[in-house]
Amino acid sequence: MTDVPIRLLLADDHPVLRAGLRALLETEPGLEVVAEAATAEEAVSRAAGGDIDVVLMDLRFGKGMGGAEATAAITRRPDAPRVLIVTTYDSDADTLPAIEAGATGYVLKDAPPEDLTAAVRSAAAGRTALAPTVADRLMNRLRTPATSLTRRETEVLALVAEGLSNQAIGRRLHLTEGTVKSHLARVYAKLDVDSRTAAVAAASALGLIHR
């Protein structure tokens, strides 16, 4: 056994929720909350300090970067801390991008306290910890890979749902218009549709994007 605590960063834009998490986690032996972040950008910056073992990351912040994007930015660095998603959202549009971004675990905010603390310890040890509903969704996706969209395809389709043109999507994602068209062609094939409207409707019905 080691006496070195697991050092935690709480990233959530709601101060009351951060306070609740801190109060819960600090009652657990071997866990220490060393920092908090109210924005995803702040979480990315603070996680690079070298003194964090696990980041507890919400998925949606009021403005700016989202939790999945922040997770990718954190985990791509050498010797990065683990990221455990702690959120209220469990749709495919939320879970899949976060896990693809490198999250070690994914738990819901209404999980029992003992499940949350167990997930933190698992993440610190590099083991995957998934809420049952999230695990079920991932298993269903593995069973039906034909309808699984990549992270980039999901991003493109989400912007289509916002009404952006291919050219505007390219500017937003720093892609050529041809690359955007290629992504959409693959989306159409996977969802068995032949139009932007049908693709958005099908993806929304499957929970792959939000509308």
Task: Write out pLDDT tens, residues 52-111.
Answer: 999 999 998 988 889 999 999 999 998 899 999 999 887 777 787 888 888 999 999 888
* Buried b or exposed e, range 149-176, using 16+ CB within 10 angstroms: bebbbbbbbbbbbeebebeebbeeeebe
145-166 pLDDT, tens digit each: 556 788 889 889 999 999 999 9
Lowest mean pLDDT: which of 27-41, 42-56, 127-141?
Answer: 127-141
> Rounded to the nearest 5°, which phi and psi values hold at 133?
-65, -35
Catalogue all structural domains in the chain, each as residue range(s) with its CATH number. 6-142 (3.40.50.2300), 146-205 (1.10.10.10)
* Cα 180 from chain centre: 23
**pLDDT score at 203:** 83
The residue ranges of DSSP E strands in the chain, in sequence order, are 6-11, 31-37, 54-57, 82-87, 105-108, 129-130
Q: Which amino acid is at 96?
A: L
pTM of the model as a whole: 0.69
* Cα 173 from chain centre: 18
pLDDT at 30 over 90: yes
Higher pLDDT, 175 or 134: 175
Higher pLDDT, 62 or 177: 177
Q: Name the residue among 33, 28, 89 with its Cα closest to residue 56.
A: 33
- Per cent of the chain over pLDDT 90 is 54
**pLDDT score at 146:** 57
87 forms bridges with which residues in the sheet? 108
pLDDT at 1 over 50: no
Higher pLDDT, 137 or 91: 91
pLDDT band per the 50, 70, 90 thresholds, residue 29: very high
DSSP class of residue 78 equals T
- pLDDT (average), residues 119-131: 91
106 forms bridges with which residues in the sheet? 85, 130
pLDDT band per the 50, 70, 90 thresholds, residue 142: low
Residues in the chain: 211
